[in-house]
Chain A
Amino acid sequence: MDLLQPTREAFSLLFSGNPELWRIIFISLRVSLIAMLVVTPLAVAVGFFLATVAFPGRRALVILIQGLLSSPTVVVGLLLYLLLSRQGPFGSWHLLFTQEAMIIGQAIIAFPVVVAFTLSAVQGADPRAHETAVSLGAGTTRAALTTLLEVRFGVMAAVFNAFGRVFSEIGCSLMVGGNILGLTRNIPTAIALETSKGEFAQGIALGIVLMAVALGVNYALAFVQGEGGLK
Protein backbone atom coordinates (compact mmCIF):
# COMPACT_ATOMS: atom_id res chain seq x y z
CA MET A 1 0.00 0.00 0.00
CA ASP A 2 1.26 3.48 -0.83
CA LEU A 3 1.43 5.41 2.44
CA LEU A 4 3.05 8.49 0.98
CA GLN A 5 0.02 9.76 -0.91
CA PRO A 6 -2.51 9.50 1.98
CA THR A 7 0.04 11.06 4.37
CA ARG A 8 0.52 13.97 1.97
CA GLU A 9 -3.27 14.33 1.79
CA ALA A 10 -3.47 14.13 5.58
CA PHE A 11 -1.15 17.12 6.02
CA SER A 12 -3.04 18.98 3.35
CA LEU A 13 -6.32 18.31 5.20
CA LEU A 14 -4.81 19.52 8.47
CA PHE A 15 -3.28 22.70 7.13
CA SER A 16 -6.13 23.61 4.78
CA GLY A 17 -8.34 24.03 7.85
CA ASN A 18 -10.82 21.33 6.78
CA PRO A 19 -13.85 22.18 8.99
CA GLU A 20 -15.05 18.58 9.35
CA LEU A 21 -11.64 17.45 10.55
CA TRP A 22 -11.20 20.33 12.97
CA ARG A 23 -14.73 19.81 14.33
CA ILE A 24 -13.75 16.21 15.21
CA ILE A 25 -10.60 17.47 16.96
CA PHE A 26 -12.61 20.11 18.82
CA ILE A 27 -15.17 17.52 20.02
CA SER A 28 -12.38 15.23 21.24
CA LEU A 29 -10.69 18.00 23.20
CA ARG A 30 -13.95 19.37 24.58
CA VAL A 31 -15.22 15.99 25.83
CA SER A 32 -11.91 14.90 27.38
CA LEU A 33 -11.14 18.26 29.01
CA ILE A 34 -14.61 18.56 30.55
CA ALA A 35 -14.43 14.94 31.76
CA MET A 36 -11.11 15.72 33.45
CA LEU A 37 -12.41 18.97 34.97
CA VAL A 38 -15.40 17.12 36.39
CA VAL A 39 -13.54 14.12 37.76
CA THR A 40 -10.23 15.58 39.00
CA PRO A 41 -11.35 17.31 42.25
CA LEU A 42 -13.35 14.30 43.42
CA ALA A 43 -10.74 11.72 42.39
CA VAL A 44 -7.87 13.66 44.01
CA ALA A 45 -9.90 13.98 47.21
CA VAL A 46 -10.71 10.26 47.21
CA GLY A 47 -7.04 9.39 46.53
CA PHE A 48 -5.93 11.61 49.40
CA PHE A 49 -8.58 10.14 51.72
CA LEU A 50 -7.58 6.57 50.89
CA ALA A 51 -3.92 7.39 51.47
CA THR A 52 -4.38 9.07 54.82
CA VAL A 53 -7.45 7.67 56.59
CA ALA A 54 -7.54 4.11 57.88
CA PHE A 55 -10.93 2.41 57.92
CA PRO A 56 -12.18 -1.17 57.64
CA GLY A 57 -12.20 -2.32 54.02
CA ARG A 58 -9.67 0.27 52.83
CA ARG A 59 -7.30 -2.35 51.49
CA ALA A 60 -10.06 -4.05 49.52
CA LEU A 61 -11.12 -0.68 48.08
CA VAL A 62 -7.56 0.21 47.06
CA ILE A 63 -7.17 -3.18 45.34
CA LEU A 64 -10.49 -2.65 43.54
CA ILE A 65 -9.42 0.79 42.31
CA GLN A 66 -6.06 -0.50 41.17
CA GLY A 67 -7.89 -3.30 39.35
CA LEU A 68 -10.15 -0.79 37.63
CA LEU A 69 -7.07 0.89 36.15
CA SER A 70 -7.02 -1.79 33.52
CA SER A 71 -10.77 -2.03 33.00
CA PRO A 72 -11.59 -2.27 29.28
CA THR A 73 -13.17 0.98 28.16
CA VAL A 74 -15.64 -0.92 26.01
CA VAL A 75 -17.03 -2.58 29.15
CA VAL A 76 -17.45 0.83 30.79
CA GLY A 77 -19.22 1.88 27.59
CA LEU A 78 -21.46 -1.20 27.66
CA LEU A 79 -22.50 -0.63 31.29
CA LEU A 80 -23.12 3.05 30.65
CA TYR A 81 -25.06 2.18 27.52
CA LEU A 82 -27.34 -0.13 29.53
CA LEU A 83 -27.85 2.56 32.17
CA LEU A 84 -28.59 5.33 29.66
CA SER A 85 -30.54 3.39 27.06
CA ARG A 86 -34.29 4.00 26.77
CA GLN A 87 -35.11 0.98 28.94
CA GLY A 88 -32.30 1.70 31.41
CA PRO A 89 -32.73 3.37 34.80
CA PHE A 90 -31.50 6.73 33.45
CA GLY A 91 -33.18 6.43 30.04
CA SER A 92 -35.44 9.38 30.77
CA TRP A 93 -32.41 11.68 30.84
CA HIS A 94 -31.98 11.17 27.05
CA LEU A 95 -28.21 11.22 27.31
CA LEU A 96 -27.35 8.32 25.04
CA PHE A 97 -25.47 9.37 21.88
CA THR A 98 -24.61 12.80 23.28
CA GLN A 99 -21.34 14.42 24.25
CA GLU A 100 -22.58 14.40 27.86
CA ALA A 101 -22.72 10.59 27.79
CA MET A 102 -19.16 10.53 26.43
CA ILE A 103 -18.07 12.93 29.18
CA ILE A 104 -19.63 10.69 31.85
CA GLY A 105 -17.95 7.62 30.33
CA GLN A 106 -14.54 9.27 30.16
CA ALA A 107 -14.91 10.60 33.70
CA ILE A 108 -15.61 7.04 34.89
CA ILE A 109 -12.53 5.75 33.01
CA ALA A 110 -10.32 8.57 34.37
CA PHE A 111 -11.52 8.23 37.97
CA PRO A 112 -9.50 5.16 39.06
CA VAL A 113 -6.40 6.46 37.24
CA VAL A 114 -6.41 9.76 39.13
CA VAL A 115 -7.33 8.08 42.43
CA ALA A 116 -4.61 5.42 42.19
CA PHE A 117 -1.85 7.84 41.15
CA THR A 118 -2.86 10.42 43.78
CA LEU A 119 -2.98 7.70 46.43
CA SER A 120 0.49 6.59 45.49
CA ALA A 121 1.82 10.17 45.42
CA VAL A 122 0.35 11.00 48.85
CA GLN A 123 1.60 7.74 50.35
CA GLY A 124 5.05 8.67 49.10
CA ALA A 125 4.87 12.14 50.65
CA ASP A 126 7.25 12.96 53.47
CA PRO A 127 5.17 12.55 56.66
CA ARG A 128 6.93 15.62 58.10
CA ALA A 129 5.09 17.79 55.57
CA HIS A 130 1.70 17.10 57.14
CA GLU A 131 3.10 17.22 60.68
CA THR A 132 4.80 20.54 60.02
CA ALA A 133 1.60 22.01 58.61
CA VAL A 134 -0.40 20.80 61.60
CA SER A 135 2.24 21.95 64.08
CA LEU A 136 2.22 25.42 62.51
CA GLY A 137 -1.52 25.65 63.09
CA ALA A 138 -3.04 24.48 59.80
CA GLY A 139 -6.52 22.98 60.08
CA THR A 140 -7.47 19.67 58.48
CA THR A 141 -8.25 21.10 55.04
CA ARG A 142 -5.22 23.39 54.85
CA ALA A 143 -2.89 20.60 56.01
CA ALA A 144 -4.37 18.25 53.38
CA LEU A 145 -3.99 20.85 50.63
CA THR A 146 -0.42 21.53 51.75
CA THR A 147 0.44 17.83 51.48
CA LEU A 148 -1.16 17.68 48.02
CA LEU A 149 0.80 20.74 46.99
CA GLU A 150 4.01 19.10 48.18
CA VAL A 151 3.31 16.08 45.96
CA ARG A 152 1.90 18.20 43.13
CA PHE A 153 4.17 16.58 40.53
CA GLY A 154 2.67 13.18 41.32
CA VAL A 155 -0.88 14.57 41.27
CA MET A 156 -0.21 16.36 37.99
CA ALA A 157 1.15 13.12 36.54
CA ALA A 158 -2.10 11.45 37.66
CA VAL A 159 -4.23 14.02 35.85
CA PHE A 160 -2.11 14.07 32.68
CA ASN A 161 -2.00 10.28 32.51
CA ALA A 162 -5.75 10.03 32.90
CA PHE A 163 -6.20 12.66 30.19
CA GLY A 164 -3.97 10.65 27.88
CA ARG A 165 -6.04 7.54 28.53
CA VAL A 166 -9.46 9.12 27.95
CA PHE A 167 -8.34 11.23 24.99
CA SER A 168 -7.27 8.14 23.09
CA GLU A 169 -9.95 5.68 24.24
CA ILE A 170 -12.41 4.45 21.65
CA GLY A 171 -14.58 1.75 23.23
CA CYS A 172 -16.72 3.88 25.50
CA SER A 173 -16.96 6.85 23.10
CA LEU A 174 -18.18 4.57 20.34
CA MET A 175 -20.75 2.81 22.55
CA VAL A 176 -22.36 5.82 24.24
CA GLY A 177 -21.49 8.52 21.70
CA GLY A 178 -22.55 6.67 18.59
CA ASN A 179 -19.94 8.27 16.31
CA ILE A 180 -22.36 10.91 14.97
CA LEU A 181 -20.59 13.33 12.64
CA GLY A 182 -20.44 16.84 14.03
CA LEU A 183 -21.89 15.75 17.34
CA THR A 184 -20.15 12.80 18.94
CA ARG A 185 -17.50 11.79 16.44
CA ASN A 186 -14.14 12.22 18.13
CA ILE A 187 -10.62 11.44 16.94
CA PRO A 188 -10.45 7.71 17.87
CA THR A 189 -13.93 6.86 16.54
CA ALA A 190 -13.28 8.85 13.36
CA ILE A 191 -9.97 7.06 12.74
CA ALA A 192 -11.65 3.66 13.13
CA LEU A 193 -14.47 4.65 10.77
CA GLU A 194 -12.35 6.30 8.09
CA THR A 195 -9.87 3.42 8.07
CA SER A 196 -12.68 0.88 7.73
CA LYS A 197 -13.90 2.85 4.71
CA GLY A 198 -10.42 2.90 3.22
CA GLU A 199 -10.15 6.70 3.70
CA PHE A 200 -6.65 6.69 5.04
CA ALA A 201 -5.88 10.38 4.63
CA GLN A 202 -8.28 11.56 7.31
CA GLY A 203 -7.32 8.64 9.56
CA ILE A 204 -3.64 9.54 9.28
CA ALA A 205 -4.35 13.25 9.81
CA LEU A 206 -6.30 12.49 12.98
CA GLY A 207 -3.66 9.98 14.06
CA ILE A 208 -1.06 12.74 13.77
CA VAL A 209 -3.19 15.02 15.96
CA LEU A 210 -3.73 12.23 18.49
CA MET A 211 0.00 11.55 18.70
CA ALA A 212 0.79 15.26 18.86
CA VAL A 213 -1.63 15.77 21.76
CA ALA A 214 -0.33 12.66 23.57
CA LEU A 215 3.28 13.81 23.21
CA GLY A 216 2.29 17.43 23.88
CA VAL A 217 0.65 16.43 27.15
CA ASN A 218 3.85 14.72 28.24
CA TYR A 219 5.97 17.70 27.26
CA ALA A 220 3.52 19.99 29.05
CA LEU A 221 3.82 17.82 32.16
CA ALA A 222 7.61 17.89 32.00
CA PHE A 223 7.48 21.67 31.50
CA VAL A 224 5.21 22.42 34.45
CA GLN A 225 7.15 20.03 36.64
CA GLY A 226 10.36 21.84 35.74
CA GLU A 227 13.42 20.45 37.44
CA GLY A 228 11.30 19.31 40.37
CA GLY A 229 9.83 16.51 38.31
CA LEU A 230 13.23 15.05 37.56
CA LYS A 231 14.51 15.00 41.12
Chain B
Amino acid sequence: MSGLLLQIEGLRKNYGARRILDIERLALHAGESYVVTGDNGVGKTTLLRIIAGLESAQISRYQFEGRPILLENFPQRLRQEIIYVHQHPYLFKTTVAANIGYGLKARHLPKAERETLVKEAMEWAGVAHLNHVPPQELSGGEKQRVALARTKVLKPKLYLLDEPTANLDAEARRQTIELIQRLRLDNNCVLIACHDYELINLPHMRRMTLTDGRLLPQVAAASQEQII
Protein backbone atom coordinates (compact mmCIF):
# COMPACT_ATOMS: atom_id res chain seq x y z
CA MET B 1 0.00 0.00 0.00
CA SER B 2 1.23 3.53 -0.82
CA GLY B 3 1.85 6.31 1.70
CA LEU B 4 -0.77 7.53 4.11
CA LEU B 5 -2.35 10.64 2.65
CA LEU B 6 -5.18 11.54 4.99
CA GLN B 7 -5.96 10.36 8.45
CA ILE B 8 -8.98 11.47 10.44
CA GLU B 9 -9.71 10.38 13.98
CA GLY B 10 -12.75 11.00 16.15
CA LEU B 11 -15.02 12.66 13.59
CA ARG B 12 -18.41 13.61 14.96
CA LYS B 13 -21.15 15.59 13.28
CA ASN B 14 -24.51 16.50 14.78
CA TYR B 15 -27.56 18.09 13.23
CA GLY B 16 -29.33 19.43 16.28
CA ALA B 17 -29.61 16.57 18.72
CA ARG B 18 -29.17 13.98 15.99
CA ARG B 19 -25.70 12.51 15.50
CA ILE B 20 -25.08 12.01 11.78
CA LEU B 21 -21.48 10.89 11.81
CA ASP B 22 -19.49 9.09 14.50
CA ILE B 23 -16.32 7.88 12.83
CA GLU B 24 -13.43 6.59 14.91
CA ARG B 25 -10.86 6.51 12.14
CA LEU B 26 -10.61 7.06 8.41
CA ALA B 27 -7.33 6.56 6.60
CA LEU B 28 -6.82 7.18 2.90
CA HIS B 29 -3.68 6.27 0.97
CA ALA B 30 -2.18 7.82 -2.14
CA GLY B 31 -2.87 5.90 -5.33
CA GLU B 32 -5.92 4.15 -3.89
CA SER B 33 -9.60 4.46 -4.75
CA TYR B 34 -12.24 4.28 -2.06
CA VAL B 35 -15.96 4.12 -2.24
CA VAL B 36 -18.43 4.88 0.54
CA THR B 37 -21.85 3.36 0.18
CA GLY B 38 -24.89 3.66 2.40
CA ASP B 39 -28.55 4.56 2.37
CA ASN B 40 -29.72 7.93 1.15
CA GLY B 41 -29.37 10.58 3.85
CA VAL B 42 -26.92 8.53 5.87
CA GLY B 43 -24.27 11.27 5.68
CA LYS B 44 -22.00 10.31 2.75
CA THR B 45 -22.13 13.77 1.20
CA THR B 46 -21.64 15.39 4.61
CA LEU B 47 -18.54 13.25 5.19
CA LEU B 48 -17.02 14.32 1.87
CA ARG B 49 -17.84 17.97 2.53
CA ILE B 50 -16.25 17.82 5.98
CA ILE B 51 -13.06 16.34 4.53
CA ALA B 52 -13.06 19.14 1.94
CA GLY B 53 -13.44 21.79 4.64
CA LEU B 54 -16.85 22.90 3.35
CA GLU B 55 -18.68 21.87 6.53
CA SER B 56 -17.67 21.98 10.14
CA ALA B 57 -17.50 18.98 12.49
CA GLN B 58 -15.86 17.91 15.70
CA ILE B 59 -12.62 16.18 14.78
CA SER B 60 -10.01 14.95 17.27
CA ARG B 61 -7.26 14.70 14.70
CA TYR B 62 -7.00 15.59 11.01
CA GLN B 63 -3.67 14.79 9.42
CA PHE B 64 -2.72 15.34 5.81
CA GLU B 65 0.54 13.78 4.66
CA GLY B 66 1.48 13.36 8.29
CA ARG B 67 0.92 17.01 9.19
CA PRO B 68 -1.83 17.91 11.67
CA ILE B 69 -4.39 20.39 10.28
CA LEU B 70 -6.77 22.66 12.20
CA LEU B 71 -10.09 22.52 10.38
CA GLU B 72 -11.53 25.66 11.96
CA ASN B 73 -9.36 27.63 9.61
CA PHE B 74 -9.13 25.33 6.61
CA PRO B 75 -5.76 26.22 5.09
CA GLN B 76 -5.62 27.40 1.51
CA ARG B 77 -2.74 24.99 0.90
CA LEU B 78 -5.06 22.08 1.64
CA ARG B 79 -7.60 23.43 -0.86
CA GLN B 80 -4.96 22.83 -3.51
CA GLU B 81 -4.60 19.19 -2.44
CA ILE B 82 -8.21 18.20 -1.77
CA ILE B 83 -11.03 19.02 -4.19
CA TYR B 84 -14.69 18.19 -3.79
CA VAL B 85 -16.92 17.71 -6.84
CA HIS B 86 -20.68 18.10 -6.32
CA GLN B 87 -23.13 15.39 -7.34
CA HIS B 88 -24.45 17.83 -9.91
CA PRO B 89 -21.34 19.86 -10.65
CA TYR B 90 -21.79 23.61 -10.87
CA LEU B 91 -20.30 25.13 -14.01
CA PHE B 92 -19.69 28.87 -14.04
CA LYS B 93 -21.63 30.78 -16.67
CA THR B 94 -18.54 31.45 -18.77
CA THR B 95 -17.04 28.95 -21.20
CA VAL B 96 -15.94 25.34 -20.80
CA ALA B 97 -12.29 26.42 -21.09
CA ALA B 98 -12.73 29.21 -18.52
CA ASN B 99 -14.34 26.72 -16.16
CA ILE B 100 -11.44 24.32 -16.48
CA GLY B 101 -8.93 27.14 -16.11
CA TYR B 102 -10.68 28.70 -13.09
CA GLY B 103 -8.50 27.09 -10.42
CA LEU B 104 -5.33 27.74 -12.41
CA LYS B 105 -6.23 31.43 -12.58
CA ALA B 106 -6.86 31.45 -8.83
CA ARG B 107 -3.34 30.06 -8.48
CA HIS B 108 -2.02 32.93 -10.64
CA LEU B 109 -0.50 30.73 -13.33
CA PRO B 110 0.71 32.62 -16.43
CA LYS B 111 -1.84 32.74 -19.24
CA ALA B 112 0.23 30.71 -21.73
CA GLU B 113 0.79 27.91 -19.21
CA ARG B 114 -2.89 27.98 -18.28
CA GLU B 115 -3.97 27.63 -21.87
CA THR B 116 -1.70 24.63 -22.43
CA LEU B 117 -2.91 22.88 -19.27
CA VAL B 118 -6.57 23.61 -20.06
CA LYS B 119 -6.15 22.22 -23.56
CA GLU B 120 -4.57 19.04 -22.21
CA ALA B 121 -7.31 18.64 -19.61
CA MET B 122 -10.04 19.16 -22.22
CA GLU B 123 -8.51 16.45 -24.38
CA TRP B 124 -8.14 14.15 -21.37
CA ALA B 125 -11.84 14.48 -20.57
CA GLY B 126 -12.95 14.41 -24.21
CA VAL B 127 -14.64 17.82 -23.99
CA ALA B 128 -12.44 19.80 -26.43
CA HIS B 129 -15.29 19.91 -28.95
CA LEU B 130 -17.63 21.50 -26.38
CA ASN B 131 -15.79 24.76 -25.90
CA HIS B 132 -18.28 26.74 -27.96
CA VAL B 133 -21.28 25.36 -26.09
CA PRO B 134 -22.50 27.46 -23.13
CA PRO B 135 -21.84 25.36 -19.99
CA GLN B 136 -25.50 25.56 -18.94
CA GLU B 137 -26.47 23.76 -22.13
CA LEU B 138 -24.21 20.73 -21.55
CA SER B 139 -25.71 17.37 -20.67
CA GLY B 140 -25.25 15.87 -17.20
CA GLY B 141 -22.45 13.61 -18.41
CA GLU B 142 -20.66 16.43 -20.20
CA LYS B 143 -20.89 18.62 -17.10
CA GLN B 144 -19.45 15.81 -15.01
CA ARG B 145 -16.53 15.39 -17.43
CA VAL B 146 -15.86 19.14 -17.47
CA ALA B 147 -15.93 19.13 -13.65
CA LEU B 148 -13.47 16.23 -13.55
CA ALA B 149 -11.18 18.00 -16.02
CA ARG B 150 -11.48 21.22 -13.97
CA THR B 151 -10.37 19.24 -10.92
CA LYS B 152 -7.67 17.15 -12.58
CA VAL B 153 -5.95 20.16 -14.13
CA LEU B 154 -5.13 21.32 -10.58
CA LYS B 155 -3.41 18.00 -9.80
CA PRO B 156 -4.93 17.57 -6.33
CA LYS B 157 -3.80 14.61 -4.22
CA LEU B 158 -7.31 13.74 -3.10
CA TYR B 159 -10.46 13.78 -5.24
CA LEU B 160 -13.77 13.73 -3.41
CA LEU B 161 -16.47 12.72 -5.87
CA ASP B 162 -20.09 12.84 -4.78
CA GLU B 163 -22.28 10.43 -6.76
CA PRO B 164 -20.35 11.09 -9.98
CA THR B 165 -22.49 8.75 -12.09
CA ALA B 166 -25.91 9.54 -10.66
CA ASN B 167 -28.56 10.47 -13.23
CA LEU B 168 -26.27 9.81 -16.20
CA ASP B 169 -27.24 7.77 -19.22
CA ALA B 170 -25.31 4.58 -20.01
CA GLU B 171 -22.76 6.16 -22.33
CA ALA B 172 -22.08 9.16 -20.06
CA ARG B 173 -21.72 6.79 -17.13
CA ARG B 174 -19.22 4.63 -19.01
CA GLN B 175 -17.15 7.68 -19.92
CA THR B 176 -17.19 9.03 -16.35
CA ILE B 177 -16.19 5.65 -14.88
CA GLU B 178 -13.34 5.44 -17.39
CA LEU B 179 -12.06 8.89 -16.33
CA ILE B 180 -12.25 7.91 -12.66
CA GLN B 181 -10.24 4.73 -13.35
CA ARG B 182 -7.64 6.81 -15.16
CA LEU B 183 -7.36 9.10 -12.14
CA ARG B 184 -6.44 6.11 -9.97
CA LEU B 185 -3.93 4.84 -12.52
CA ASP B 186 -2.25 8.26 -12.36
CA ASN B 187 -1.56 7.57 -8.66
CA ASN B 188 -4.28 9.88 -7.35
CA CYS B 189 -6.35 9.12 -4.29
CA VAL B 190 -10.08 9.10 -5.04
CA LEU B 191 -12.87 8.91 -2.47
CA ILE B 192 -16.30 8.41 -3.99
CA ALA B 193 -19.70 8.45 -2.36
CA CYS B 194 -22.11 6.49 -4.53
CA HIS B 195 -24.68 3.79 -5.13
CA ASP B 196 -23.39 2.80 -8.54
CA TYR B 197 -22.95 -0.96 -8.63
CA GLU B 198 -20.40 -0.88 -11.43
CA LEU B 199 -18.34 1.85 -9.81
CA ILE B 200 -18.38 0.11 -6.43
CA ASN B 201 -17.21 -3.16 -7.92
CA LEU B 202 -14.38 -1.76 -9.97
CA PRO B 203 -11.17 -3.72 -9.45
CA HIS B 204 -8.88 -2.23 -6.77
CA MET B 205 -11.76 -0.28 -5.28
CA ARG B 206 -11.66 -0.22 -1.47
CA ARG B 207 -15.20 -0.32 -0.16
CA MET B 208 -16.68 1.14 2.99
CA THR B 209 -20.25 1.38 4.24
CA LEU B 210 -21.70 4.19 6.28
CA THR B 211 -24.33 2.88 8.68
CA ASP B 212 -25.78 4.75 11.64
CA GLY B 213 -22.97 7.27 11.38
CA ARG B 214 -20.24 4.63 11.53
CA LEU B 215 -17.87 3.78 8.75
CA LEU B 216 -17.38 0.03 8.32
CA PRO B 217 -15.02 -1.73 5.95
CA GLN B 218 -16.76 -3.88 3.38
CA VAL B 219 -14.54 -6.77 2.40
CA ALA B 220 -16.64 -8.56 -0.22
CA ALA B 221 -17.76 -6.99 -3.46
CA ALA B 222 -21.24 -5.54 -3.16
CA SER B 223 -24.19 -7.04 -4.91
CA GLN B 224 -26.76 -4.90 -6.61
CA GLU B 225 -29.37 -5.92 -4.02
CA GLN B 226 -27.11 -4.85 -1.16
CA ILE B 227 -26.64 -1.43 -2.67
CA ILE B 228 -30.26 -0.87 -3.51
**Taking beta carbons and an 8 Å cutoff, which residues of A are in contact with B?**
126, 128-129, 131-139, 142, 146, 149-150, 228, 231
Contacts and interface: CB of A to CB of B under 8 A. Distances in A.
A135 B52 contact: yes
Contacts of B52: 135
A126 B88 CA distance: 12
B89 A132 contact: yes
B154 A136 contact: yes
B48 to A, nearest CB: 11
A149 B54 contact: no
A134 B89 contact: no
25 contacts: A128-B86, A128-B90, A129-B90, A131-B54, A131-B90, A132-B86, A132-B92, A133-B102, A134-B79, A135-B52, A135-B84, A136-B79, A136-B106, A136-B150, A137-B76, A137-B79, A137-B103, A137-B106, A137-B107, A138-B102, A138-B103, A139-B76, A146-B102, A149-B92, A149-B93
B46 interface: no
A137 B76 CA distance: 7
Contacts of A150: 92-93
A149 B90 CA distance: 14
Nearest to A231: B136
A126 B106 contact: no
Contacts of B102: 133, 136, 138, 146
Residue among B88, B90, B151 with the highest chain A CB neighbour number at 10 A: B90
Main SS of the interface on chain A?
A: helix
Nearest to A132: B90
A149 B80 CA distance: 23
A156 to B, nearest CB: 13
B210 interface: no
Contacts of A129: 90, 92
Given A128-B90, A138-B103, 20 more contacts: A129-B92, A131-B84, A132-B92, A133-B92, A134-B79, A135-B52, A135-B79, A135-B83, A136-B103, A136-B106, A136-B151, A137-B80, A137-B103, A137-B107, A138-B106, A139-B76, A149-B93, A150-B93, A228-B93, A231-B136
Nearest to A227: B134
Closest A-B pairs by Cβ, 7 of them: A128-B90, A136-B103, A137-B106, A138-B106, A132-B90, A137-B79, A135-B84
A131 B79 contact: no
Nearest to A143: B106
Contacts of A128: 86, 88-90
